[in-house]
Structure 1
């Protein structure tokens, strides 16, 4: 049956036109309409806004409706023609703007400029019109028009000082960063803005983008001097030093700024960021604490502090920050999800479940996975698997992810055969999926199914010959579980070529050399691996190698340290039991 009402999208132009008609009886704001079509940003006097028509003519209604229909259908050429005609008839800036955007979508620059001329004629102080004019001018290579338009962008910026940064962003349209800087310099000179802090800072950002760091530093320092106490150029200078990997200098500069303005929250946040970048979470958290003493209801700081506290296991602080966010009614879904993790890590499973159930939005799936994990830990395996099946049904494009999660949950509960069944079922659907093959291979080695591991990893290497983890896992397993040591070494050597400083691969090379009777060479690789960071399995290997070399005291020292660091590490304990070594032996 034919609709008896206008489609919703057709109401848009109709409402606009009704507004024209309703304003028809209002007294004109200008004495006479103008026919001027001066280019955007020209120095001609600003034209008067034309008076709306007193009636809605059939031609006007037709043009507006056809334009809207064409726009909905993606026919941007027709939309431009009819929006332009409607704007000319109605003398309405919003229709001229729609004509401009339709022309841009149609990639008709000349048509867009024609509509822009009408738009700026009807609404001379429309900031977006001059921004679009600057984009078009840059695209056309017309620097004079671009400069005139950018001058108007700066003049019309709603927030004082933002115009120069808006101009710098628009200049990003130019492909050559050096050209962006040159045009911005011309603009600053034209506006005689050498003493304007915002202009100098905008120049600094473009100089940095052009990799002219020394120039950027000079300009940012000038901006900071022109406006004492302004933290934006100070933060910029610190970030620039970080980009140049001059971390000590960045810290020193930031400390100097903080000495001048110890309460500046943005500088404090930068200090926290530098600590996080340096993997110093406790120091970063201390900075967040200082900030929150001054401003205890700042949501962004509360959230950052909560995430960091949770990451380092300070659950009491994390809970306190998140409860503050709850009171402020800020980001309820994120807060519920993070509070659920706090309660889960605190051993409060029921509270964690209740919180995870509240989560909506982008964290909902992750919350549901956490619920499944809690069910599995509580021995409710069927319930956990049912929930993961529901997630697969709801998100068929992520089915592999949920198969992997299910397999890992089952492995964690010691249900290896059930986990293997999950991987088998998933691989029946996607037999060449790399992540599934790798997960099954890692499960297989724990089940002493070396043949399955080798088949799966070799299958990965058929399509991905440089898959480093597969090369290393296959090489290490062959070295550890078989006598095929030459083949094992070949795989490990290839992995080491691809990732020469990876401690796991260095450990594999040390282990295969030890198995081949080259204990002294093995020691070098194992020590280098341990230098990258402590790992109980690597320490177990190094101790065994040292023992074989007759350096038993050194072996005991290595094993003793490993026991202190990881007293429940399964592989380490198995090795030590073979050598009848315990804590009392060191």
Structure 2
């Protein structure tokens, strides 16, 4: 079967707050403890006064720098930065570089800062500010080993916090580079055995490497050296939780929340850990207690609202969320969940109002739900117009919004309109893999298998290991051509990449059946049916059972599927084609 990668479904069920997500994340533990976790979060400021020796510049350089300063006074930062950056490259003068850094920071030009940081550190290796800037530039570029050189210098000069930031960003490194970084931290620890930042960073690296017991032991040393530091407490409790000491972890994190009521990061982590227990009554009890102790902690109130919702206490959840719409950080999540509550209560108008007010990270889930509601109420045109408005306002989200609109059209069986929309979207975003895949689905519904193959092969040209495209191409060829051997090759490649994917097992079973191997097909289709309650799998499994002389079992499979999907067209078509009669 071809898996329709549906944003409408996926975004509608996503929990945008993260409260139901995994409470433990080695890549984020260093920054999860709030506003002051003990980790450097920003690039270093560029306003430090420093005396630089006067240097004779060529006339052209002086003219260019004067023009840049004049442009800066006029507010033309692009011109000023472009000229200062050029002269920083040409002259290598530390004063020019420092001034270019100031302008780049004021303009928020990360690319320029990424170039200027290493250049400045190279010219002034003893300048702490230059080293800090180089470190952050290299971190953004994923060059951990190069960044470590600067972090080590900063450690020797009394600033160990970059070692935490470096470790926090190391989770995405290839295994061999991660191992080298971990070994380097161990070497540094022999020289600085009691440096809290270094120990914290190494504990984080050990956690990322799957060495939880060693990471836990090291985090215990950090706690002993710095018992009241929120980030250290968070790291330790998360490791306790992951190594099986869940009650102890929750108790210690609760105490940390009580000790640091100002730290919203700890509160959010506590809520996540509490929800991971999947004990709604316990979560309600604990969060009610903590909100009484600290009534101003809105992260706890937000967790309490979700706990009330999960406990079926909609009125209490609504009351909490209505207070939180005034909180700038929680406003969007509050509107999203108020929309969900209104939707569950059948109040479509109020649900749409809340979804329309949702922005930020909750924008796409809210938009998906809003669009669904509008279509369910016969307002497909209005939903499309709304999505078009959003595309104009949020160009960075335009590809996803195009895909959402196409799914609305597909669901309403306007396949040609969906195809035209996706063709328009690919003119604006050529080569976008998700849009190509979506258009292949529309082409398949229209019976244009050549177009399906073109789009799926275009995806594979970019990503030869795209399992969804491999499966879709193989299934399409099996279903709409006699190129069964080629089809099976694509499907087997997909299954090798995702061996537990039921939709790919279904495709393999179907192509085996089409190739005259019903026994082998039946094995794959039974595996698929065990993983997926999907009417397409049921249609295929029933047909193969029917063909192998087991009509009663086939009817049982179809009957069960129709109980859940009474209007499924594929099962009905299969019954008619096989003359299976009434079930």
Give the TM-score normalised by structure 2.
Answer: 0.60
1:509 positional shift:
1.2
CA distance in 2, matches of 1:267, 1:513: 54
1:378-389 mapped onto 2 (5 Å cutoff): 378-389=377-388
1:558 positional shift:
3.8
1:443 positional shift:
2.1
Residues 539 and 559, structure 1, Cα contact 8 Å, conserved in 2? yes
Partner of 1:33: none
CA distance in 1, matches of 2:384, 2:358: 20
Partner of 2:184: 179
SS at the partner of 1:414? coil
Residues 522 and 541, structure 2, Cα contact 8 Å, conserved in 1? yes
The verdict on how the C-alpha distance between 1:574 and 1:320 changes in structure 2, with shifts beyond 3 A counting, is farther
- Decide which of 242, 246, 253 is 2:245's aligned counterpart: 253
CA distance in 2, matches of 1:513, 1:84: 67
- Decide which of 120, 133, 136 is 1:107's aligned counterpart: 120
SS at the partner of 1:295? helix
Residues 134 and 146, structure 1, Cα contact 8 Å, conserved in 2? no
1:522 positional shift:
0.9
1:543 positional shift:
3.0
CA distance in 2, matches of 1:200, 1:462: 45
Partner of 2:287: 292
The verdict on how the C-alpha distance between 1:420 and 1:141 changes in structure 2, with shifts beyond 3 A counting, is closer
Residues 523 and 546, structure 1, Cα contact 8 Å, conserved in 2? yes
CA distance in 1, matches of 2:501, 2:471: 10
Residues 392 and 398, structure 1, Cα contact 8 Å, conserved in 2? yes
After superposition, the C-alpha distances for 1:322-371 in whole angstroms (9 at most, x for unaligned) are 23423667532332244234434543222123223434556557756665
Residues 200 and 222, structure 2, Cα contact 8 Å, conserved in 1? yes
Partner of 2:406: 407
After superposition, the C-alpha distances for 1:279-324 in whole angstroms (9 at most, x for unaligned) are x7x44x5554233211235422444566788899996676455234
Residues 181 and 210, structure 1, Cα contact 8 Å, conserved in 2? no
CA distance in 2, matches of 1:431, 1:206: 39
The verdict on how the C-alpha distance between 1:310 and 1:521 changes in structure 2, with shifts beyond 3 A counting, is farther
After superposition, the C-alpha distances for 1:4-58 in whole angstroms (9 at most, x for unaligned) are xxxxxxxxxxxxxxxxxxxxxxxxxxxxxxxxxxxxxxxxxxxxxxxxxxxxxxx
CA distance in 2, matches of 1:130, 1:218: 32
Partner of 2:157: 149
CA distance in 2, matches of 1:333, 1:530: 39
Residues 167 and 201, structure 2, Cα contact 8 Å, conserved in 1? no
The verdict on how the C-alpha distance between 1:301 and 1:555 changes in structure 2, with shifts beyond 3 A counting, is farther
CA distance in 2, matches of 1:83, 1:471: 50
1:104-503 mapped onto 2 (5 Å cutoff): 106-108=119-121, 111=124, 113=126, 149-150=157-158, 153=159, 176-188=181-193, 204-205=203-204, 215-222=214-221, 236-237=235-236, 239-240=238-239, 250=243, 252-258=244-250, 273=272, 282-283=278-279, 285-286=280-281, 288-296=283-291, 297=295, 298-303=297-302, 319-326=318-325, 331-360=330-359, 371=370, 373-394=372-393, 399-426=398-425, 434-458=433-457, 460-461=459-460, 466-503=465-502
1:60-79 mapped onto 2 (5 Å cutoff): 69=69, 73-74=84-85
After superposition, the C-alpha distances for 1:232-291 in whole angstroms (9 at most, x for unaligned) are 66753564578xxxx6xx2x31224457887665999768646877xx7x44x5554233
CA RMSD in angstroms comes to: 5.3
The verdict on how the C-alpha distance between 1:102 and 1:315 changes in structure 2, with shifts beyond 3 A counting, is same
1:528 positional shift:
2.0
SS at the partner of 2:476? helix
1:227 positional shift:
8.2
CA distance in 2, matches of 1:454, 1:102: 43
CA distance in 1, matches of 2:325, 2:537: 45
SS at the partner of 2:157? helix
CA distance in 1, matches of 2:155, 2:465: 52
The verdict on how the C-alpha distance between 1:328 and 1:290 changes in structure 2, with shifts beyond 3 A counting, is farther
1:524 positional shift:
1.0
Residues 254 and 270, structure 2, Cα contact 8 Å, conserved in 1? no
Partner of 1:9: none
Give the TM-score normalised by structure 1.
Answer: 0.60
CA distance in 2, matches of 1:139, 1:480: 53
CA distance in 2, matches of 1:447, 1:473: 15
Partner of 2:519: 520
CA distance in 2, matches of 1:360, 1:332: 9
SS at the partner of 2:217? helix
Higher-Rg member (1/2): 1
CA distance in 2, matches of 1:569, 1:449: 22
CA distance in 2, matches of 1:294, 1:362: 29
After superposition, the C-alpha distances for 1:422-452 in whole angstroms (9 at most, x for unaligned) are 2344456677654444323312333444454
SS at the partner of 1:107? helix
The verdict on how the C-alpha distance between 1:473 and 1:239 changes in structure 2, with shifts beyond 3 A counting, is same
CA distance in 1, matches of 2:400, 2:456: 19
Tell which deviates more after alignment, 449-458 or 101-110. 101-110
